Amino acid sequence: MSAAAASAALSEEGSAAGGLPRLLPPPGHGGDLASHLSRHGSVPYRGSARALIPEIRAARLTGRGGAAFPVHRKLETVAAARPGRAVVVGNGAEGEPASHKDQALLHLAPHLVLDGLQLAAEAVGAGRVVLYVRHDVRARTRLDAQLSERYARGLDRIAVELVSAPARFLAGEESALANLVSAGTAVPRFTPPRVFERGVDGRPTLVQNVETLAHLALIARFGPGWFRGLGTPDEPGTMLCTLHRADGSMNVAEAIIGTPLAGLVDSPGASAVLVGGYHGAWVAADQLPWLTLSNASLRPVGAFTGAGVLAALPADRCGLVESARVTRYLALESAGQCGPCLNGLPAIAAAMGELAGLAGRRPDPRVLENLSRWAGLVEGRGACHHPDGTVRFLRSALQVFAAEARLHLQGRCSAASGRPFLPIPAGPATDADWSSP
Ligand SMILES: Cc1cc2nc3c(=O)[nH]c(=O)nc-3n(C[C@H](O)[C@H](O)[C@H](O)COP(=O)(O)O)c2cc1C
Ligand code: SF4
């Protein structure tokens, strides 16, 4: 993605001290070390383990990798380990095909993420620091050079190891990540223990999304009150969003939590908006005027902010066809370790394909009943949340596109265009794709 496409679309004052953007550099500022230091100054180490944790608790920072888990709780747990034993991993795998915000952040403001990694490592007394990023030769070369520059200038107290993530949907799931960094493959494992108890090489491991680390680095500089100055009282701050508009354009924008959704995905003519990504949920376009970018607002309609994906479906496309393509992709991305996921997701994907009219025959009249039953059978039955996320996406599609489903049962479809809208990667080729490239 170009730097221009990743502009801070909602820029108000162009200053980290005031409004937006906080994370992305304002127009005219680069992401290089000299620009970063002139804008933010050096890494504000606290001088002792745990010292930063009360500030993160007061800021009410939650994870930006999808689950919005309170960051201070993980910091406290990992900080209880023997000094030097814990591992900190910055998660930049970004396995979600519709999300580009982590790549954009690492491209435009890498030093904020790297500051956050060092500060998190200090806070938990870690002895090892890893940056886990989606495999991209150019991005890796750039990060290598940036890390060498920081180390040479004495900014980083612990050398950061770069580990490449395979381009798989599950590669960023934290237990898959811990397996891969421990020299295994990026497949999830059963929990407990959670990775903050036993993660990389069996050591307590703090995994934070790279955007979370960038927020942490700003809180360390400007304080919890500053952080809470934007957003809602319960969900303070800003978040990066990947916005896919109905006209096919896409950009990454930093948005204040609580911003009206209709203003963010301003897409006249869209029939529905996918919120949160492929483990997220569809929301009918006529509900948008009442919704904001916050979990409190989205929860009642079965959605959540997730990793900040918002995709407005053009009115000429079929929501069932799009959902069937995504469901098939998610089924193929199953790590194949748990029976209900291994067998259930392909059956669900096939039934969705049939309902969408992709099977070349009129759907079986029992297809909706089967989908609902199979969804119930896979939910909560995996080592990881992949089946649960897939079922959430499926159920929202069946609800939001219910009228379209009735048409399809009669062998009809309202779409004027069959052109795919949501991005689907080419797909796994071999089992080796689960390993680090
Ligand atoms: C199937 C699946 C895929 C995930 N992929 C990612 C990912 O690509 N990047 C990410 O930061 N978190 C991802 N997560 C969430 C991580 O497991 C973990 O909760 C997160 O990295 C913690 O960071 P945070 O608390 O800062 O969000 C995924 C979770 C699941 C269930
Ligand atoms: S639930 Fe599915 S994706 Fe998750 S570990 Fe089991 S088989 Fe793999």
Residues 63-97 have pLDDT tens digits of 999 999 999 999 999 999 999 999 999 999 999 99
pLDDT reading at 11 higher than 80: no
Question: Is the bond into 110 cis (omega within 30 degrees of 0)?
Answer: no
Residue with tokens 């934290």: 174
49 in Cβ contact with 83 (< 8 Å): yes
Distances (CA, A) of 72 to 49, 53, 79, 213, 224: 13, 6, 10, 12, 12
Distances (CA, A) of 360 to 326, 331, 353: 18, 20, 9
For residues 118-128, average pLDDT: 98
For residues 140-148, average pLDDT: 96
Taking every pair of Cα atoms in the chain, the longest distance, rounded to a whole number of angstroms, is 68
Q: What atom in ligand 1 is closest to the CA of residue 169?
A: 3
Would you state the structure tokens that stand for residue 295, as one six-digit string?
A: 């979990």
The closest ligand to the CA of 341 turns out to be: 2
Q: What is the secondary structure of 361-405 as a DSSP string?
A: SPPPTTHHHHHHHHHHHHTT-SSSSHHHHHHHHHHHHHHHTHHHH
Percent of the chain with pLDDT over 70: 93
285 in Cβ contact with 273 (< 8 Å): yes
For residues 347 and 392, give the distance between their C-alpha atoms in angstroms, rounded to a whole number: 16
The CB density around residue 224, as the number of other CB atoms within 10 Å, is: 17
249 in Cβ contact with 256 (< 8 Å): no
pLDDT band for 135, please (50, 70, 90 cuts): confident
State whether the beta carbon of 209 lies less than 6 angstroms from ligand 1. yes
Distance 336 CA to ligand 2 centre (A): 6
Q: For 210, how many CA atoms within 13 A lie in the half-sphere containing its CB? A: 28
pLDDT digits (tens, 9 = 90+) for 259-308: 999 999 888 889 999 999 999 999 999 999 999 999 999 999 999 999 99
Instruction: Collect all residues with Cβ–Cβ distance below 8 Å to 90 and sequence separation of at least 6.
Output: 113, 116, 117, 129, 130, 131, 132, 208, 209, 210, 213
- The DSSP letter of residue 257 is T
For residues 388 and 375, give the distance between their C-alpha atoms in angstroms, rounded to a whole number: 9
State whether the beta carbon of 207 lies less than 6 angstroms from ligand 1. yes
pLDDT reading at 436 higher than 70: no
Distances (CA, A) of 35 to 104, 109, 227: 17, 10, 22
Residue with tokens 């809180």: 219
The closest ligand to the CA of 385 turns out to be: 1
Would you state the structure tokens that stand for residue 185, as one six-digit string?
A: 């493959």
pLDDT at 8: 36
pLDDT reading at 5 higher than 90: no
Strand ranges across the sheet with 281-284? 250-256, 238-244, 309-313, 272-275, 281-284
pLDDT digits (tens, 9 = 90+) for 383-416: 899 999 999 999 999 999 999 999 999 999 999 9
pLDDT at 402: 98
> Which of the pair, 100 or 137, is modelled with greater confidence?
100
Tell me the pLDDT of the chain averaged across its residues. 92
pLDDT at 267: 80
126 in Cβ contact with 213 (< 8 Å): no
Burial of 88 (0-12, 13-18, 19+ CB in 10 A): buried
For residues 122-128, average pLDDT: 98
Q: Which amino acid type is present at position 154?
A: G
Which of 207, 210, 212 maximizes ligand 1 atoms within 8 Å of its Cβ, making it the mutation to test the pocket? 207
334 in Cβ contact with 342 (< 8 Å): yes
Distances (CA, A) of 367 to 182, 329, 355, 362: 43, 19, 7, 11
Beta strands in 68-117 (DSSP E): 87-92
Distance 385 CA to ligand 1 centre (A): 10
pLDDT band for 158, please (50, 70, 90 cuts): very high
Q: What atom in ligand 1 is closest to the CA of residue 385?
A: 31
For residues 311 and 331, give the distance between their C-alpha atoms in angstroms, rounded to a whole number: 21
For residues 125-135, average pLDDT: 96
Q: Which residues is 292 bridged to in the sheet?
A: 260
pLDDT band for 329, please (50, 70, 90 cuts): very high
Helix axes 137-152, 110-124, angle to 10 degrees: 60
Burial of 262 (0-12, 13-18, 19+ CB in 10 A): middle
For residues 115-121, average pLDDT: 98
For residues 229-245, average pLDDT: 97
Among protein residues, the one with the nearest Cα to ligand 1's atom 23 is 208
Among protein residues, the one with the nearest Cα to ligand 1's atom 29 is 173
| pTM, 2 dp | 0.94
The closest ligand to the CA of 306 turns out to be: 1
pLDDT band for 428, please (50, 70, 90 cuts): low
Q: Which of 220, 225, 249 is nearest to 237 (CA)?
A: 225
pLDDT at 85: 96
pLDDT digits (tens, 9 = 90+) for 197-230: 999 999 999 999 999 999 999 999 999 999 999 9
pLDDT at 95: 95
